[in-house]
Chains A and B, each alone.
Chain A
Amino acid sequence: MAQGERASVRGLVIVYLALVALLGANLGLSYLPLGIFNPISNLGIAALQAGLIMAVFMGLRWSSPLVRVVAIGGIFFLSFLVVLLLADYLTRGLT
């Protein structure tokens, strides 16, 4: 984030209201029997909220590309853990 570049108060208020609205949407969708789309919508909305927080409250929107790379580095390495674990457990019945 360059010195001086940051969200305005109005921008912060809008993001906060969006986060509260998404929380309401998440709660509302939990009441609907959507089958497989229930976990997808729950985690999808949580990811959307996380993205808003990371971009604005955590300042990634104004960060240098290097900081952004470091920020997604943890998620990138976590994806190895998830993919390799699922590659094991989800294929055990195929032999």
Chain B
Amino acid sequence: MASPGVEIPFEHFESLEQQHDAAHMGIWLFLATETLLFGAIFTAFGLYHYLYPGAFSPASRSLAWVLEAWNTLVLLSSGFTMALSDHFAAELRRRKVMLFLALTILLGVTFMVLKGVEYHGDYMAGSVPFLPGGWDYAGPDPSHAALFFNFYFLLTGLHATHMVIGICLLTILLVRAILWRSPFGLRRMLVGVGVFWAFIDVVWLFIYSSLYLINRPGG
């Protein structure tokens, strides 16, 4: 394989460091809007939890928290493999970049499959208020419990949408790593996607803590 040569900055940047900082700041600016999006939903969820604890707490305890504990482990592992692929991309080590990108995609798909299993269980348990025939909740205060499940599907669904987008971006990165036509371009894209993927991890940690664990004192 031909040597990739030396990376030079685009003409509108004074140095590689400035170019790298600009890219990094751009992705963080985007993530600030994402923080406001998820944060507003979390805030509304917290408020309604405060207003209707008698409905929200039992509804929360009915969620598949053990399955999602495994899913959290899967997602943390995918964040780790993504960080490793970023690390090796900086060293232009193609095989390791491909390996860890493929592992990240595999873990991301595993997360989505387990999420599908959980959604199927929710439907079978009658915990899907917005689907015909999907709502048959036996717990206390069903009307406000429906509000909890709407928040649950909104937050986990929005998160899953980000996961799908992330997996698509990772697949593009993997193809670029296999072709290895522009290692420096790949590295630039990988930094942005890596930060995005880690952000998805962060959002999930708050979803898991606030929806699944917070109402479980004493098990």
Contacts and interface: CB of A to CB of B under 8 A. Distances in A.
Interface of A: 1-4, 6-9, 12-13, 15-16, 19-20, 23, 26-27, 30-35, 38-39, 42-43, 45-46, 49-50, 53-54, 56-59, 63-64, 66-67, 70-71, 73-75, 77-78, 81-82, 85-86, 89
A31 B218 contact: yes
Contact of B83 (A4, A32, A56): A56
Interface string B35-61: 110011001000100110000000000
A8 to B, nearest CB: 8
A54 B209 CA distance: 18
**Interface-centre pick from B50, B79, B199 (highest chain A CB count, 10 A):** B79
Interface stretch (B120-128, B145-153, B173-181, B200-208): B200-208
B73 A23 contact: yes
21 contacts: A1-B20, A4-B90, A6-B90, A8-B87, A9-B84, A12-B87, A16-B80, A23-B72, A26-B209, A31-B216, A31-B218, A43-B206, A45-B209, A46-B209, A46-B210, A53-B79, A57-B80, A59-B24, A67-B28, A81-B36, A81-B43
Nearest to A33: B218
Contacts of A13: 80
A interface majority secondary structure: helix
A42 B69 CA distance: 13
Contact of B80 (A12, A27, A31, A75): A12
A54 to B, nearest CB: 7
Nearest to B216: A30
A71 B83 CA distance: 18
Interface residues of B, number: 51
A64 B50 CA distance: 39
The 7 A-B residue pairs with the shortest CB-CB distance, nearest first, are A74-B32, A74-B35, A78-B39, A46-B209, A16-B80, A33-B218, A38-B217
